[in-house]
């Protein structure tokens, strides 16, 4: 049976145009990302990231292990070569010094401001109109080049998690919160705050999410192999079907 399976893997790799390589034990880490990387009611890992990695790993017989951790800790584990893959970071110049990013992203987020509905806050797209507002951000998140350029002109209040940031907004410790729509809408529903907090018109920026790898030679070899299989997954149309299942936008 094992011989037959190995033969199948070799044939599958030949069909995809990828040379089979030694199977690997791969630790994947990240924070809980709605529709990307989370656990369902039974504790099973699910999301677009999970489906992509499982599909790719099956073709080489790799063994995947998943962990959900605080975002800062997950990043440090990959940076310290204690895990091989970080789920879903946006690419920044600073992060490229710490990780090796996949060749292509696998999802796209819109970053917007959230405010209490009763505040009736409207943003005209100019950062000068935020100068008297306390702006909430989440530690370790990237908000796009323009926001980062304007950060020093804003009254920034940081939170360690999106959940804490939303509770700060509810308690009026901040006036607006910068966040992505995907994660925030899911958590608002979970916290039963959708009736009190809503997104403000005008997008801060659109951000693409990637797989990021540790900087060891073995991780880079893993990246090259996964990049090749990811491209074929995309060209086959299978990736698009996966994204539709989780109601996500692809770049």
Query: Mean pLDDT over residues 160-172, rounded?
Result: 96
What are the pLDDT digits (tens) for 125-156?
Answer: 999 999 999 999 998 899 999 999 999 999 99
Q: Report helix, strand and coil shares of the chain as percent, to nearest 5.
A: 40, 25, 35
Architecture of domain 108-206: 3-Layer(aba) Sandwich (3.40)
For the cut 60, the answer to whether the pLDDT of residue 73 exceeds it is yes
- Split at pLDDT 50, 70, 90, the class of 22 is low
Q: Which of the following CATH numbers is that of domain 23-107+207-245: 2.40.50.100, 3.40.190.10, 3.30.70.270, 3.40.50.300?
A: 3.40.190.10
CA angle 139, 65, 79 (to 5 degrees): 40
Pick the more confident residue, 9 or 48. 48
Query: What predicted TM-score, i.e. pTM, was given to this entire model?
Result: 0.83
The reported pLDDT for the residue numbered 21 is 53
pLDDT > 90: percent of the chain? 86
DSSP state of 46: E
Query: Mean pLDDT over residues 57-68, rounded?
Result: 93
The reported pLDDT for the residue numbered 17 is 45
- Cα 154 to Cα 115, 162, 165, 203: the distances in Å are 16, 19, 17, 17
For the cut 60, the answer to whether the pLDDT of residue 162 exceeds it is yes
The reported pLDDT for the residue numbered 140 is 86
What are the pLDDT digits (tens) for 33-42?
Answer: 999 999 999 9
Query: Mean pLDDT over residues 186-191, rounded?
Result: 96
Mean pLDDT score across all residues of the chain: 91
Instruction: Please choose, from the candidates 183, 227, 211, 214, the residue with its C-alpha nearest in 3D space to the C-alpha of residue 87.
Output: 211
Where do you find CATH 3.40.190.10 in the chain? 23-107+207-245, 108-206
């Amino acid at each position: 049976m094992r011989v037959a399976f190995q033969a199948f893997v070799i044939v599958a790799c030949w069909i995809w145009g990828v040379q089979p390589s030694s199977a690997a034990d791969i630790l994947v880490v990240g924070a809980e990302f709605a529709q990307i990387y989370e656990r369902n009611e039974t504790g099973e890992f699910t999301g677009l990231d999970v489906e992509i990695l499982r599909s790719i790993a099956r073709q080489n017989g790799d063994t995947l292990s998943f962990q959900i951790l605080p975002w800062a800790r997950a990043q440090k584990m990959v940076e310290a070569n204690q895990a091989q893959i970080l789920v879903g970071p946006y690419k920044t110049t600073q992060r490229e010094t710490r990780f090796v990013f996949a060749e292509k992203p696998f999802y796209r987020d819109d970053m917007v401001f959230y405010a209490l509905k009763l505040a009736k806050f409207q943003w005209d797209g100019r950062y000068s109109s935020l100068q008297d507002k306390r702006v909430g951000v989440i530690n370790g998140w990237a908000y796009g080049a323009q926001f980062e350029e304007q950060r020093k002109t804003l009254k920034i209040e940081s939170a360690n998690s999106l959940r804490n940031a939303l509770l700060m907004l509810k308690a009026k410790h901040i006036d607006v919160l910068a966040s992505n729509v995907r994660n925030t809408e899911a958590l608002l529903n979970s916290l039963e705050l959708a009736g009190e907090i809503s997104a403000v018109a005008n997008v801060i920026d659109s951000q693409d999410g990637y797989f990021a790898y540790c900087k060891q030679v073995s991780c880079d070899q893993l990246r090259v192999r996964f990049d090749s299989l990811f491209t074929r997954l995309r060209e086959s149309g299978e990736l698009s079907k996966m994204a539709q299942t989780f109601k996500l936008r692809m770049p």
